[in-house]
Amino acid sequence: MAQRISQHMKKILLPILSIIALATASAQPVKIHGHLKVQGTRLLDEHNQPVALHGMSLGWSCFHPRFYTAGTVDWLYRDWNCSVLRAAMGVEPKGGYIDDPTRSKELVTSVVEAAIKDGIYVIIDWHSHHINLEQAKSFFAEMAAKYGKHPNIIYELYNEPAGPTWPEVKAYSEAVIKVIRKIDPDNLILVGCPRWDQEIEQPAADPIKGYSNLMYTMHFYAGTHKKWLRDRTDSAISAGLPVFISESAGMEASGNGPIDYKEWQLYIDWINKNNLSWITWSVSDKNETCSVLQPSAGSDGHWKDADLKESGARTREYLKAYPPVDKPQPTATAETVREPATAETLRQPATAETLRAPALTKNSYHPPTDHK
Ligand code: MG
């Protein structure tokens, strides 16, 4: 009888054990790379190997809270091959941090907790266009105390400075860094630069001193920002500035208008040549070119091709093209096994249809002047 039970148990246990083995064999990016650090202009992993992170930014937390879920995080990791996600916590708009700090922190922490569980990197992004120093200090102190021990966490202090000069952004950043570093001595911190993160030459000429593991953010929208921004960034890197592209996309800087596939490809080629980290804006379903999802997309992932907009299909294709070092093994459920790319998802040539610019909306998430 005991033998029969034992054989019976074996029959049940073996498949379970093999599933567990498969799941634990998953190449979670944080398991592979661990704590990140900056050396010169390069991002290194804890084994001193150069590393570049690739992934998606969620949309503004206050406008698109329905995607701040564990299901969305898990899908972006497993199906889109993201090694990093960015939680873009709105600060100034209604429903953002200043208006509703409790709700804003709940949204961010739900994404952070899910990213830790999945073993991917996650950026806690203070998604603001203006300086709100005291609120930022208080928020980042709380985040550093809660998450500073996790190698997954990256802090982004100021999404896109719109008006302030570099000395003002620098002073703000130094004040916030000081608060974080008292609590968390080592996790990567991203620093913005003037004019929506395009004046990267300014921190290159006058970088923050006295702290380690800082990188500076450059944002591009390929339909507006052409070779001049790549050249400017090359110069900044040559001058010794470590650069991280924490937001980017293929259309105009308003987030709308047609996708410039040719220029976007030039950016991707340049990024890969320089082994830079990059993130695409954004996981949301607004009627604009840069929102990667259709309103039909569920809040918990499992999106079909029909749920992706043009920018989403192309971004997913770009992300999935990276080598398996960042790639999870498929787990045993049918839903999480990646579908192979089809001819349709691989090629989206610009047509008269795709080139037509959708109408700009007045309350576009990024006012049209935001990324000039
Ligand atoms: Mg730490």
Domains of the chain, residue spans: 31-364
Query: How far apart, in Å, do the first and last CA atoms of the chain sit?
Result: 77
- The model's confidence at residue 323, banded by pLDDT at 50, 70 and 90, is confident
| Residue at token pair 């695409």 | 280
253-269 average pLDDT score: 97
pLDDT at position 339 is 34
252-272 average pLDDT score: 97
Residue 120 and residue 77: Cα distance in Å, rounded?
Answer: 7
Residue 248 and residue 221: Cα distance in Å, rounded?
Answer: 5
Residue percentage of the chain with pLDDT more than 90: 79
CA 185–ligand 1 middle distance (angstroms): 6
Ion ligand 1 — residues with CB < 5 Å = 148, 184, 186-187
Selected catalytic residue, list 160, 252, 288, 310:
160
CA 81–ligand 1 middle distance (angstroms): 25
CA 112–ligand 1 middle distance (angstroms): 15
Instruction: Read off the pTM.
Output: 0.83
Q: Is the model's pLDDT at 9 over the cut of 70?
A: no
Residue 109 and residue 145: Cα distance in Å, rounded?
Answer: 13
248 φ, ψ (degrees, to nearest 5): -170, 165
Domain over 31-364 is classified CATH 3.20.20.80: yes
CA 212–ligand 1 middle distance (angstroms): 12
Could you give the count of Cα atoms lying within 13 Å of 333 in the half-sphere of its Cβ?
6
The per-residue b/e assignment along 203-232, b for 16 or more CB within 10 angstroms, e otherwise, is: bbeebbeeeebbbbbbbbbbbbbeeebbeb
CA 187–ligand 1 middle distance (angstroms): 5
Give the model confidence (pLDDT) of 186-240 as tens digits.
999 999 999 999 999 999 999 999 999 999 999 999 999 999 999 999 999 999 9
CA 45–ligand 1 middle distance (angstroms): 14
- The model's confidence at residue 149, banded by pLDDT at 50, 70 and 90, is very high
- The model's confidence at residue 26, banded by pLDDT at 50, 70 and 90, is low
Selected catalytic residue, list 156, 199, 247, 288:
247
Let me know if 160 is a catalytic residue.
Answer: yes
Higher pLDDT, 20 or 188: 188
Residue 249 and residue 243: Cα distance in Å, rounded?
Answer: 17
